[in-house]
Structure 1
Amino acid sequence: MTDLTGSRILVVDDERSMREFLEIMLQKDGYEVHCAGNGVEAVELLKERSFDLVITDIRMKPVDGLEVLKQTKSLSPATVVIIISAYASTETAVAAMKEGAYDYLPKPFKIDEMRHVIRSALMSRGQDAPPRPRQGPLYFGCLIGESPAMKRVYELIQKVSATNSNVLITGESGTGKELVAKAIHGQSDRAKKPFIPVNCAGVPESLIESELFGYRRGAFTGAGADRKGLVEAAEGGTLFLDEIGELSPTLQVKLLRVVQEKTIRMVGDTTDIPVDVRIIAATNRDLEQMVIDGRFREDLYYRMNVIQIRLPPLRERREDIPLLADYFLAKFCREFGKDIRKVSSYAMDILKRYDFPGNVRELENIIERGVALESSSIILPESLTLAAHKRAQQDRAEPHGPVLPPEGLDLDAYLADVEKELLVQALERSGGVKQKAAQLLGLSFRSFRYRLAKYSLSSGEEAE
């Protein structure tokens, strides 16, 4: 790991507590730290000496953070600049990026996040071109992730690839079930043979039988010649049946024959054709419950569910979100011919806190939209889809717990109000029975009565 201790950092903020906090934190990490209480002081320091990194607030008078950024780039182009602000907005962020800022972080920021951004910024110094997003570890083609949950998936893929057993892949929509099927096929001794995917929900019920098993000439109106089905087309390779839970009972019976007997019968034919295919199925439905409800054949379920691989939803492996985001960013930058350096720390924080009901597919769409709409060199929060950004704004707007007002408060009076309110609620919930109310609050009866007297709350029954 690159040793960055001793790097010279200038902290610019008109809020004394923030300057002191950053100074202590950075000195602890081994950096040489200088501080300026406003933009004027910062510019004077920049003229006197060189800095590796400048961290500046954006709202200051008479010289703001954007001017400090411009002066820094004018006096020392190699110095990297991080903008921080309690008033994050699209306009100022875009302006900062256009002037060459490395990143833009809103206050309050997480210490670990700030440390990471500082280290990344210092490591980027002296590079001729902006660092490209790393693609992250790629396993078995396009599966990306370092989380424990994904590592377990990789281990299962390696184990089942060496067998010919049927595999059932379960997981929510958008988790990458087809990628797992392709990975199993690609690691198996059938890799040089066809991989045939079939979306069971995407083919009309009236056509899926002929699509899967083929048909003989004259089997139905329009059948002018014999035609092989997809099962036969996968000969020697792998047949991937996506959304297998959508198959009708009739098709389930015919598929069971393929699984058990390794034969198919074309529509309009009376003879069986032997086939050598490995079947991998996938579903986002609860097949076990469907068996209980009589909507899926029990014998077919157990035949298909020899080995099950569960793909975790993205919200269960949030540590993989940066890897995936970087990969999709690089992909769409190539496709759109754009040179976007990274996803901003603020935007990445939003992504990491978002639940992604559409999983990896939704993240891919979000990054594609961000690349398409972004005009700066970094993906900003406003370029994310509305759902992710709106959720993050709501999370910030609705703090989970007490909030200290800007003007401060009388802590004793505040706690007294809270205590009084809880006493009233306990009495209401217990129907006025004090003994029961005391139990709800985990208090002795004597202590509860003392508190009631303290706040002149004497109504209610002594006991049941």
Structure 2
Amino acid sequence: METAKRRILLVDDDPDMLRLLSIRLRAHNYDTDCAKDAAEAINMIYSFRPDLIISDLRMPVTDGMELLTEVQRLHPGLPMILLTAHGTIPDAVAATHRGAFDFLTKPVDKEALLAVVEKAMQLSGGSIAVDPSRSKKWREEIVTMHPVMLQLLEDAHRVASSETSVMIMGESGTGKELLARAIHKASPRASKEFIAVNCGAIPENLLESELFGHEKGAFTGAIREHEGLFRAADGGTLLLDEIGDMPLPLQVKLLRVLQERQVRPVGSVKSFPVNVRILSATHRDLKYAMEEEKFRADLYYRLNVVGLRMPSLSERVSDIPILVSRYLAALAERSGERCKVYAPEAMELLVAAAWPGNVRQLFNIVEQNVALSVTPVIGARIVQKALGSEFSALPTFAQARDDFTRAYLTQLLQITGGNISQASRMAERNRTEFYKLLSRFGLNPALFKSES
């Protein structure tokens, strides 16, 4: 069996230097890819998954020292070699004290390069796993190559092994239940039941019975005993989907179950112990719901020990082609027919569309296109007809306001390099209020620091 090539990411603003290093390393069976600056390098770590980074020390905007700091924060254990001119050797030495594997002076000697690279590979094992999901079946239903999604999957995989309650936030149609299932599959409870219940789809008078069970004769229509979903999921995982739609009286009873770890069926005087890992999901802003006293703060903090945010499809546009390709293959397998493909101009239309309904809406359009296309190649006219007014429809006032606010906050963070004090002053808001705004729109100021 052939051994997989070990991967090296080269970072330099000089294209000639990148070309020279790449030629030398590929000649010795290393797989290389190149980034022109630190920001591009951070993104490429997720898609290329290098075993080693070789970066120039002096680069415009963000230098190699700052890149080293960011790599150590995001991917501890990923080794990094710095390239330096003779005049900056003291800086390179300082970098090794801060965790760089080694440094090389320019012009780079070929033999010295290969020797230090091989040494770095031997010590690292050449197997830095920056994406723990790269091999795993636990998240096979989630198709992505986008850096934000890959980071989300890393966080999900990390929290899966614990018993911590997780709240998954995101717009409708983004795949919150898929992420919950993936967390269950990666957890020690994977061999037990995963049960999802939509708290907004069941009438209030039935939801309590559905969750906690009921005794025979407890109410009109209760012709037999029902154990409830908590007991059915015992030993496994229960997803409370659209938890923001749960009525307040039931929130009180749910909180009691979570605190006491036992349920009392409707009409019963007996309680039953339950061992269930709780995941929850919502498209609502529960902090606003708490302020309006529509959601209990004590329940919110019990459920939201770890919060994960699913990005909208418009935030991961680069994933659209691979999502479409995967779904086309699934439709072909289901029907037993030949797999259809999109013409380039038709795919461009899909990528450019707004997708307010996110991945769910995308799949609906793809299925419609496949059904209506009489040729193996789906053309632009079919896509345009299916999308209808997607290109011209005005957003609601709330959507337009949120889009403007998100874009404004993003621009502030870009201008200030993630400096909260400076950004909040420019927005004429206090730091506490500014942090709340960033949290509401899922913006992490740390991700903008590499651009300063």
TM-score tier after normalising by the smaller chain length: 0.5 to 0.7
Q: Which residue of 2 aligns with 1:178?
A: 177
SS of the residue aligned with 1:282? strand
Partner of 1:194: 193
Give matches, 1:17-416, under 5 Å. Answer: 140-384=139-383, 386=385, 388=387, 390-391=389-390
What is the CA distance between 1:159 and its match in structure 2? 0.7
- Find the aligned partners of 1:137 and 1:217 in 2 and give their Cα distance: 44
* Deviation by residue 1:235-277 (Cα, 9 ceiling, x = unmatched): 0000111100111111100110121111111101123211000
Contact 1:369 1:385 in 2 (8 A): no
Cα contact 1:171–1:310 (8 A) shared by 2: yes
| 1:27-54 alpha-carbon deviations (Å, 9 max, x no partner) | xxxxxxxxxxxxxxxxxxxxxxxxxxxx
Given that 1:339 and 1:377 are in contact with CA atoms closer than 8 Å, whether structure 2 keeps it comes out as yes
Write the distance in 1 (CA, Å) between the matches of 2:186 and 2:136. Answer: 17
**Number of aligned residue pairs:** 259
Partner Cα distance (2:339, 2:266) in 1 = 54
Which shifted more, 203-212 or 381-390?
Answer: 381-390
Classify the secondary structure of the residue corresponding to 2:267.
coil
CA apart distance, 1:366: 0.9
Query: Percent same amino acid at aligned positions?
Result: 45
Q: Offset of 1:341 from its aligned partner?
A: 4.2
Q: Contact 2:332–2:340 (CA<8 Å) still a contact in 1?
A: no
Q: Secondary structure at the match of 2:231?
A: helix
Letter of the 2:363 partner, please give it. Answer: E
CA RMSD of aligned residues (A): 2.0
Tell me the amino acid that sits aligned with residue 162 of structure 1. S
Please give the alpha-carbon distance, in whole angstroms, between the structure 2 residues aligned to 1:212 and 1:244: 13
**Structure 2 CA distance for aligned equivalents of residues 390 and 215 of structure 1:** 48
Give me the TM-score of the superposition, normalised by structure 2. Answer: 0.55
Q: Which protein shows a greater Rg?
A: 1
Determine the C-alpha separation between the residues in 2 that align with 1:175 and 1:252: 25
CA displacement at 1:286 relative to structure 2: 0.3
Pair 389,337 (structure 1): closer, same or farther in 2 beyond 3 Å: farther
Residues 365 and 386, structure 2, Cα contact 8 Å, conserved in 1: no
| 3-state SS of 1:197 partner | strand
Unmatched 5+ stretches in structure 2: 1-134, 394-452
Provide the C-alpha distance between the structure 2 equivalents of 1:387 and 1:307, rounded to a whole number of angstroms. 39
Residue 194 of structure 1 aligns with an amino acid whose one-letter code is: E
**Residues 165 and 304, structure 2, Cα contact 8 Å, conserved in 1:** yes
- Provide the C-alpha distance between the structure 2 equivalents of 1:251 and 1:295, rounded to a whole number of angstroms: 12
Quick check: 1:195–1:234 contact (8 Å CA) kept in 2?
Answer: yes
Which has the higher mean CA deviation after the structures are superposed, 268-277 or 337-346?
A: 337-346
Report the alpha carbon displacement of residue 343 of structure 1 after superposing the two structures with TM. Answer: 1.2
Distance 1:139 1:229, change over 3 A: closer
* Deviation (angstroms), 1:189: 0.5
Residues 195 and 239, structure 2, Cα contact 8 Å, conserved in 1: yes
Unaligned 5+ runs, structure 1: 1-135, 395-464
Q: One-letter code of the match for 1:384? A: V
Asked if the contact 1:214–1:228 (Cα under 8 Å) also holds between the matched residues in 2, the reply is yes
Residues 137, 332 of structure 1: alpha-carbon distance in 2 compared, 3 angstrom cutoff:
farther
Tell me the amino acid that sits aligned with residue 287 of structure 1. Answer: L
Determine the structure 1 residue equivalent to 2:53. none
Partners of 1:173 and 1:385 lie apart in 2 by 23
Deviation at 1:200? 0.6
Distance 2:385 2:190 in 1: 41
CA distance in structure 1 between the partners assigned to 2:390 and 2:209 by the alignment: 46
Could you tell me how far 1:138 is from its partner in structure 2? Answer: 7.6
Secondary structure of the residue aligned to 1:143 is coil
Distance 1:255 1:201 in 2: 15
The 1:390–1:151 alpha-carbon spacing in structure 2 relative to 1, beyond 3 Å, is: same
Contact 2:355 2:390 in 1 (8 A): no
For 1:261 and 1:341, the matched residues in 2 are separated by 53
> Counterpart of 2:92?
none
CA distance in 2, matches of 1:269, 1:390: 54
Shift of 1:385: 6.0
Amino acid at match of 2:233: A
Query: Is the Cα contact below 8 Å between 1:333 and 1:371 reproduced in 2?
Result: no
SS at match of 1:302: helix
1: CA distance between counterparts of 2:326 and 2:147?
19
**Per the alignment, in what secondary structure is the counterpart of residue 298 of structure 2?**
helix
